[in-house]
Amino acid sequence: MPVPEADDARLTEISAKKLNVLVTGGAGFVGSHLCEFLIGRGYYVFCLDTFQTGRASNLSTIGHNGRLTVVQHDIKAGIPDDLPVFSEIYNLACPASPVHYQADPVSTAMTNSQGTWNVLCRAERDNARVFHASTSEIYGDPEVHPQSEEYWGNVNPVGPRSCYDEGKRFAESLCTDFGRTRGLAVRMARIFNTYGPRMQEDDGRVVSNFIIQALLGRPLTIYGDGSQTRSFCYVDDLIRGIDLLMHSDVAGPVNIGNPAELAVGELAQLVLEITGSKSTVLHMPLPVDDPRRRKPDITRAGETLGWRPLTELREGLTRTIAYFDSELSKQARPSSGTPGPRLRAASA
């Protein structure tokens, strides 16, 4: 993605001090865009990832000039001692798609609890600033619409989404108390449904599913009657929001999402229209505890960060469709053998 302007003083400091930053979950969809952005800013980026839902190939295509080190490592096991001192830590490690976070729910819960604790302890040791990726899922199946940061949510603590929803709620609590009682600078974004290039094809999320199905001429799988709503944010807008939030003094959670709300059935029609696909739609059972409505109130992000999304859904979907189209056609061709980032063995 293009790197937006940063003030000259900050860019000079980054380049003069050779600042190291850690991105957990950096090989995932959002993490790879964040690594690319940070490298563009001149940081030395260290990515820790299990590759549970991320891929090294997400990082192999980004220009890194030797500034990227990828370590296969699980944050539940701590942060490796032999990595350098970090000035900033971005904690994104956690599968985000319901299919994947429910595949090993205990691991998801522990990544958000033990893993986040490990990240915060390392940040305290390094005196690093922390960004934590929280989620709109902390609002559960919301009874308030749109959702503002003041709303406490409606989460089933024992449902199939609980490992993620409650895990992220606990992580917010832990981050808040590290800030409140131990003076750590922690910034938290409640990220609403985000989409864009480098989503996994088999991620199970609605945008990637519909695009792949449309491109392959398969039926688009609408769960339930398709009247449930979501609000989709293009990944470049999210990354800009993360950067603004990380370098702000806003201590509480901030919603980052696009308030343009639409029904899942409408999304299916839009994908069919843009791709020109002749696919049909297939209605399937609605998953348990699937939220009925979701739309961020982004007043706080606007007032405190001057942030708002800039990418219209149609434009973002068109770019995402072009990405998946190219990925599908590449699969028929042999690999180009492009050299990737330095990949290190994990250490405890």
> Which residues of the shown chain bind ligand UDP in the complex (CB under 6 A)?
97-98, 193, 205-206, 209, 221-223, 228, 230, 264, 286-287, 290
Which residues between 150 and 179 bind ligand NAD (CB under 6 A)? none
| Shortest distance in whole angstroms from residue 73 CB to ligand NAD | 6
Q: Residues 6 or more apart from 336 whose CB is under 8 A from it?
A: none
Q: Which does 102 bind (CB under 5 to 8 A by kind): ligand NAD, ligand UDP, none?
A: none
Name which of ligand NAD, ligand UDP, none residue 76 binds, using a CB cut-off of 5 to 8 Å depending on partner kind.
ligand NAD
The nearest distance, CB 318 to ligand NAD, in angstroms, is: 19
Nearer to ligand NAD among residue 14 and residue 256 (C-beta): 256
Mark residues 5-44: x for contact with ligand NAD by CB under 6 A, - for none.
-------------------xx-xxxxx-------------
Give the residue among 99, 36, 102 at the shortest CA–CA distance from 67.
Answer: 36
Phi then psi for 149, rounded to 5 degrees?
Answer: -65, -20
Question: What is the smallest separation between the CB atom of 131 and ligand NAD, expressed in angstroms?
Answer: 10
Pseudo-torsion of CA 69, 71, 77, 79, nearest 10°? -10
Largest Cα separation within the chain, whole Å, is 57
194 binds ligand NAD (CB under 6 A): yes
Nearer to ligand UDP, 189 or 264 (CB): 264
Among 147, 193, 228, 275, binds ligand NAD (CB under 6 A): 193
The pair of three-digit structure tokens given for residue 36, joined into one six-digit string: 């690319």
Residue 51 interacts with ligand NAD (CB under 6 A): yes or no? yes
Question: Do the Cβ atoms of 202 and 163 come closer than 8 Å?
Answer: no
**Residue of the chain from 37, 43, 86, 95 that contacts ligand NAD (CB under 6 A):** 95
- How many residues bind ligand NAD, per CB under 6 A? 29
Binder of residue 221, out of ligand NAD, ligand UDP, none (CB less than 5 to 8 A by kind): ligand UDP
Quick one: three-class SS letters along 258-276? Answer: CCCEEEHHHHHHHHHHHHC
DSSP state of 154: B
3-state SS assignment for residue 319: helix
Q: Give the whole-angstrom CA distance, residue 278 versus residue 281.
A: 10
3-state class (DSSP) for residue 208:
helix
C-beta closer to ligand NAD: residue 111 or 275: 111
Distance CA 137, CA 294 (A): 9
Tell me: does residue 76 bind ligand NAD (CB under 6 A): yes
Contact stretch for ligand NAD (CB under 6 A) within 88-96, 239-247, 262-270, 290-298? 88-96
Cα(321)–Cα(199) distance, rounded to whole angstroms? 11
DSSP string, 116-148: HHHHHHHHHHHT-EEEEEEEGGGGBS-SSSSB-
HSE-CB of 81 using CA atoms within 13 angstroms: 1
Q: Is the dihedral of CA 196, 198, 199, 201 positive or negative?
A: positive
**Which is the catalytic residue, given 164, 195, 223, 234?**
164
- The nearest distance, CB 291 to ligand NAD, in angstroms, is 12
Active site residue 151: no
Q: Using the minimum distance from each CB to ligand UDP, give the nearer residue, 222 or 235.
A: 222
27 binds, among ligand NAD, ligand UDP, none (CB under 5 to 8 A by kind): ligand NAD
Active-site residue set: 164
Where do contacts with ligand NAD occur on this chain (CB under 6 A)?
24-25, 27-31, 48-54, 74-76, 92-96, 111, 115, 133, 135, 191, 193-194
